[in-house]
Structure 1
Amino acid sequence: MTDDVVVGARFVIPDAELGERFSRASGPGGQGVNTTDSRVELSFDVVRSPSIPDDLRERVVARLRSRLVDGVITIVAREHRSQLMNREAARARLAALLLEATAPPPPRRRATKPSRGSKERRLAAKKRRAQVKRGRGGRFDD
């Protein structure tokens, strides 16, 4: 089994470019939580990675700017009790994050004006609502 991270059909990040640190996770888990290093910190150098094509690198850096520290993105996984499952979760999260960051920008919205019919319907609804409110006035004058 290869530990490379596949980012859609766009590119593959080899295992050698990923850094992993393990530590003890907090939270429930009984005695095991105090003895096993199941928390995983997965780090990937986005800026200096040769795996990301140059045309996509600028887009990734721009979209992930708030999450990068010196060009490195860090993903933390600690939701599972086993280290292996946390490693898989962190790698899946990294792949999803990079896939979303490399997606092409959405097409620009073309500005449109409301049609005559929609304007008339809006005004008619306003008149009906005003008539309802006008009909409520003066009921409680005793």
Structure 2
Amino acid sequence: MKKMVEDVREFFELSVELKKECSSEIEGYGQAFVETVNKYSSEMERMKTILVGLMAKNLGIDQDKFIDLFKDGLQSMRLNYYPPCPDPSKVLGISPHSDATGITILLQLNEVDGPQIRHGGNWVPFKIIHGALLVNIG
């Protein structure tokens, strides 16, 4: 995780021109970054399998069958950057949405308020715990 955080921070420090060159293909950023992303992705896949197995156990259902439901699912990774902004009314982030996945694992890299949940008609931010992963089960 530490290497992923370092590489992502380094990527977002690149000039806009360099980021545009490799925005659709991570290969444009270099082999070291590709290796970091692949390792991180493999570890997130392994963690997902463990979490799904534990959910099945807690629900009292067959762990292997439940894990198999997620076995061939699509895994994707998204990198977003939201620098601190002194005027929150001017912040533009991801549009309000519901995750359309079985499980989302989020790594927050800074102290900027991140995900929110809709509760009672209001958007309520999560308290970010630095270095922790946020797991959203959909």
After TM superposition, is the score higher than 0.5? no
Q: TM-score, normalised by structure 1?
A: 0.24
Q: TM-score, normalised by structure 2?
A: 0.24
The structure richer in strand per residue is: 1
**Greater RCO between the two (CA within 8 Å, min separation 6)?**
1
